[in-house]
């Protein structure tokens, strides 16, 4: 099992990573962040993407969809933004938010690596 700080640092090793945050979607607070900087304010991104997660969960409830969200992908001109809700019992209510440079990232590989890291994460 990997602790939060180690997992976030490992996520930043994914090709093209700009910043990563572990976020509580109940409060919108970032529990931990790595990267970001002038390009990306991760605390603002955490709060904003909390609204995305809540909206999707509400829509799924209204549609009576009982499946779990694996990830949410937002594609911008120059970036990919990935939101991955944690599936472990201890991670309930948390999600990983990862911003990637589109010109440097391999989306399929990034999704695979993020899933592997999430599976090892002990929150």
Contact between 119 and 35 under an 8 Å Cβ cutoff? The reply is no
Q: How far apart are CA 58 and CA 53, in angstroms?
A: 9
The Cα–Cα gap between 53 and 26 comes to: 10
For residues 103, 108, 114, 116, the Cα torsion angle rounded to the nearest 10 degrees is: -150
Predicted pLDDT at 61: 95
Per-residue pLDDT of the chain (123 residues; tens, 9 = 90+): 788 999 999 999 999 999 999 999 989 999 999 999 888 999 999 999 999 999 999 999 999 999 999 999 999 999 999 999 998 766 688 999 999 999 999 999 999 999 999 888 877
Cβ partners under 8 Å of residue 74, min gap 6: 52, 80, 81, 82, 83
Q: Six-digit token pair at 77?
A: 């001109």
pLDDT of residue 90: 65
86, 114 contact by CB (below 8 A): no
pLDDT at 19: 97
Exposure string for 66-96, b = 16+ CB within 10 A, e = fewer: eeeeeebeeeeeebbbbbbbbeeeebeebbb
């Amino acid at each position: 099992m990997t602790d939060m700080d180690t997992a976030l640092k490992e996520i930043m090793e994914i090709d093209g990573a700009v910043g990563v945050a572990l976020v509580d979607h109940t409060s919108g607070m970032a529990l931990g962040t790595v990267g970001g900087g002038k390009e990306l304010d991760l605390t603002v991104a955490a709060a904003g993407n909390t609204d995305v997660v809540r909206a999707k969960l509400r829509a799924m409830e209204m549609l009576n969809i009982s499946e779990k969200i694996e990830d949410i992908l937002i594609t911008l001109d120059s970036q990919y933004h990935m939101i991955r809700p944690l599936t472990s019992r201890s991670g309930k209510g948390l999600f990983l938010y990862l911003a990637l440079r589109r010109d440097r990232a391999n989306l399929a590989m990034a999704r695979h690596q993020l899933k592997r890291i999430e599976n090892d994460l002990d929150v």
